[in-house]
Amino acid sequence: MVLQEFDIIITYRPGKANVVCDTLSRHPPDVNAVRNADESSTNPHPSLRLESIRKEQDECPWIVSYKDDLESEEPSPETANYIILNGILCKLPERLYQDPQIVLPENSKIKHELIKQVHESNFGTAHLGIQKTHAAIAKLAIWNKMSTDIAEFVRSCPLCQLRKNPSAYRTSEPLDRFEIPKRPWQRLHSDVVGPLPPTLTGNRFIIVFVDAFSKFIIAEPIPDQKATTTADIFVNRVVSRFGPPETLVTDQGTNYMSDIFRNTLKTLNVTHRTSTPYHHESNGQVERANRTIEELISIAVDQKNDQWDDVIHLMTHAYNSTDNTSTKYSPYFVIHGREPNNAFRLALQLPSKTFISEDDYVEQLISTLQNVWKDVEHNIATTQQTQKHHYDLRKRVTPTDFKIGQQVLIRKDVGSKIAP
């Protein structure tokens, strides 16, 4: 309004003639601010300590009642599924290999910080969504209306709303599936993501490998898509750590179809299967993993697009450490037979299990993996049947009833796959 009283003539002036503004536009960022922001996203909040948890429990009448009952000479059957550890009321796990869950009051302030830390931290679930955030928190704590609290937090997460991909386009063709593997490393899927913004170390692509059984992801930053680079990563980052898979499924890219790479597979006795050209959905196992990786690193790096290779291993570890919706187990657990340690377990000081002997531990580990693998195979089959049913029916998204004045987000295509 103030400018309306003036007659303004706008004249274009190039950057070299506009030294002041050009200099300001190149002003370096506050390094300390960036460092502090990074540190705050990885350090557990002070409230996630036993003292704070114990104080909240002591202010909750029913928790105090349960503690008193458990400490009595004849505890009631009502508290049979609970135990006191380090002065903290915990719920006993349903399965032998799981840890006890810390019980939090429904009006707990700690639970909100726990959700925030686990969902947003690179050492937690790294913005992986409602189900995976819930699964990760359920391994640590439990409270009344826990599912509702987690769902509300994740749905309102600004970064998730801005970066998560909408539902993929569905064709009218019936959905077909690969045969279900019976063990880890029976079939591996691979693809290359990129080109991405070049990093300070010269990386522009990500080569991804996904185990079709456990859903375990290996993602490595690479500078190019040369056959020698692809073969080197496969041998040194996959085979040297887990052994060669029985089958490798890739697209028909020149790096995978080259003599160098195919001779490498032949030497390792790996069967090579290729997907249909121009139809990425036929290698859907790794395509879904690609989208997840792009979403996670885009959130982690924010504006620092030249540093995505610094966080990619943390992002894949976060994914591998949370329960998969198809298998109902974390990929890490299906491979190793145990859950990985993390910053939140250490902060909450969860007690370690004690096994009576090494032989008993080995026997239990073998039995656990055998039972888990059978369960995973069944869960994958059930999930595939459900997905095929909905896909073949060409289920449509229910229209949203927008209200006048309601705030909405508009999705726009971006030039870079990890641009904010």
pLDDT at 38: 43
Would you say residue 306 lies in a domain? yes
Residue type, 42: T
Q: Of 275, 301, 320, which residue is a domain's last?
A: 320
Q: Of 287, 320, 353, which residue is a domain's last?
A: 320
**Is residue 341 pLDDT above 50, yes or no?**
yes
Closest to 253 measured CA to CA, from 198, 208, 196 = 208
Q: Tell me the average pLDDT of the chain.
A: 78
Same domain for 315 and 193, yes or no, is yes
**Could you tell me the pLDDT band of residue 256, with boundaries at 50, 70 and 90?**
very high
The beta strands (E) that lie in 198-312 are given as 205-211, 217-222, 247-250, 271-274
Same domain for 60 and 158, yes or no, is yes
**pLDDT tens-digit readout, 132-154:** 888 888 888 888 888 888 888 88
**Is residue 37 pLDDT above 60, yes or no?**
no
As for how many domains the chain has, the answer is 2
Residue 370, beta-bridge partner list:
none
Of 29-38, 56-65, 114-123, 267-276, the poorest mean pLDDT is in 29-38
The rounded distance, in Å, linking the Cα atoms of 92 and 100 is 5
Model-level pTM greater than 0.75? no
Percent of the chain predicted with pLDDT > 90: 20
Pair of tokens at residue 307:
């540093």
Cβ atoms 213, 182 nearer than 8 A: yes
Same domain for 142 and 211, yes or no, is no
Same domain for 145 and 234, yes or no, is no
Same domain for 155 and 192, yes or no, is no
DSSP code at position 197: P
Same domain for 315 and 194, yes or no, is yes
Would you say residue 334 lies in a domain? no
How would you list the strands of the sheet with 141-142, edge to edge?
82-85, 88-91, 101-103, 141-142
Same domain for 159 and 46, yes or no, is yes
Would you say residue 328 lies in a domain? no
Domain membership of residue 230 as a residue range? 187-320
CATH number at residue 74: 1.10.340.70
**pLDDT tens-digit readout, 236-249:** 999 999 999 999 99
Closest to 128 measured CA to CA, from 413, 323, 412 = 323
- Compute the half-sphere exposure of residue 185: CA atoms within 13 Å on the CB side of its CA: 12
**pLDDT tens-digit readout, 43-56:** 555 556 778 888 88
**Could you tell me the pLDDT band of residue 27, with boundaries at 50, 70 and 90?**
very low
Would you say residue 64 lies in a domain? yes
CATH number at residue 289: 3.30.420.10
pLDDT at 34: 39
Cβ atoms 210, 286 nearer than 8 A: yes
Same domain for 50 and 156, yes or no, is yes
Same domain for 255 and 287, yes or no, is yes
Closest to 280 measured CA to CA, from 129, 414, 171 = 171
Would you say residue 107 lies in a domain? yes
**Could you tell me the pLDDT band of residue 23, with boundaries at 50, 70 and 90?**
very low
